[in-house]
Amino acid sequence: MNDTLVYGLGSLGVGLLALLIKYSFKSKCTDVSVCFGLVHIQRDIEQEIVEQQIEERHQPSRDTSLKNLNSV
């Protein structure tokens, strides 16, 4: 088998696995299993939900920011 083919397929496999892990961490699930149990992630998402609520409260509303732009 050609070495370039093996290297390319290996890189593709590692990239796909990294992408699956990335999306697993972005999900709001507490228990995630990828690749038939090869990668198993258990998370406590309570703190993440609290942080997200705090961020949403401290962001200026869109209407207010548009009014500020119109007054310039």
Residue spans per domain, the chain:
3-70
4-56 pLDDT, tens per residue? 899 999 999 999 888 877 876 777 777 777 678 777 877 777 877 888 888 88
Q: How many other β-carbons are positioned within 10 Å of the β-carbon of residue 34?
A: 14
Overall pTM surpassing 0.85 (yes/no)? no
d(CA 19, CA 61): 33
